[in-house]
Amino acid sequence: MGKQAVVLSLVALSCVLLARAFEPSPLQDFCVADATSSVKVNGQACKSPASVVANDFSFTGLHLPGNTSNPNGSKVTPVSVTQVPGLNTLGISMVRIDYAPWGINPPHTHPRATEILTVVEGSLLVGFVTSNPDNRLITKTLVKGDVFVFPVGLVHFQKNAGTGNAVAIAALSSQNPGVITIANAVLASKPSIGVDVLAKAFQVDKSVVYHLQQNF
Ligand SMILES: *[C@@H]1O[C@H](CO)[C@@H](O)[C@H](O)[C@H]1NC(C)=O
Ligand SMILES: *[C@@H]1O[C@H](CO)[C@@H](O)[C@H](O)[C@H]1NC(C)=O
């Protein structure tokens, strides 16, 4: 194989990998989600283009602080396909996250999205953990104007590192990124994964698992 052929094969291979790693490219200008359709597709069915209006592509209220009076001390306001039907098939969405002083956004993953976050107020300690076997924590303290990336699928978190409120805006590479909050998924599944499994997984006595589960 000549040098050019090798380069071409590598480009072709990376295109295949890209195609597998991201949501499918749209085959039309837009496919505004039809919330009333019972058709099940990978995403949501499209509304007739004739009935599409500007508000299908719009959201109002992201300047409003979320209510952080909850045990996490944080509130995520999503702007994904549920809020903006025009995002359907476009592979992108965003959130506003508010943090009370010492609030956290607990360890979680987005099964379908990489996240790029910017701090617009206050300061955040952020981090993600690499896959097994290293489970290395990559962490940094951010201030207003700083940006941080959480690679797709990896467990990540944020904590307010300042003394006042903090606010972040993040973009995600899916119209419907999904959230798996680790503590809730593992300890509070319905029905329970099973105390014997959890006790072995966490290497603790079953009573510790019961104690942890009580808090959910
Ligand atoms: C914030 O949430 C708390 C707890 O749910 C509630 O008691 C309170 O009224 C809410 N505050 C506002 C301003 O909505
Ligand atoms: C913390 O936030 C996550 C994600 O929003 C939520 O699933 C979980 O129930 C919250 N935990 C508590 C203790 O409120």
Confidence of residue 17 (pLDDT cuts 50, 70, 90): very low
How far is ligand 1, taken at its centre, from the CA of residue 65, in Å?
12
Alpha carbons 13 and 19: distance in angstroms, whole number = 10
- Which residue stretches of 136-181 are H helix? none
Please check whether residue 145 is in contact with residue 119, taking contact to mean a CB–CB distance below 8 angstroms: yes
Which pLDDT band holds residue 215 (cuts at 50, 70, 90)? confident
Say what the pTM is: 0.88
Give the list of residues 6+ apart from residue 112 with CB closer than 8 angstroms, or none.
23, 152, 173, 174, 176, 177, 178
Q: Is the CB of 9 under 6 A from ligand 1?
A: no
* pLDDT band, residue 23 (cuts 50/70/90): confident
Q: Is the pLDDT of residue 16 over 60?
A: no
* Residue range 35-79, pLDDT digits in tens: 999 998 889 999 999 999 999 999 999 999 999 999 999 999 999
74-101: pLDDT as tens digits = 999 999 999 999 999 999 999 999 999 9
Tens-digit pLDDT profile for residues 133-189: 999 999 999 999 999 999 999 999 999 999 999 999 999 999 999 999 999 999 999
Q: Which domains does the chain have, with CATH numbers?
A: 6-178 (2.60.120.10), 180-216 (no CATH)
Which residues' Cβ are closer than 6 Å to ligand 2? 70-72, 76, 106, 181, 184
Cα(178) to centroid(ligand 1), Å: 25
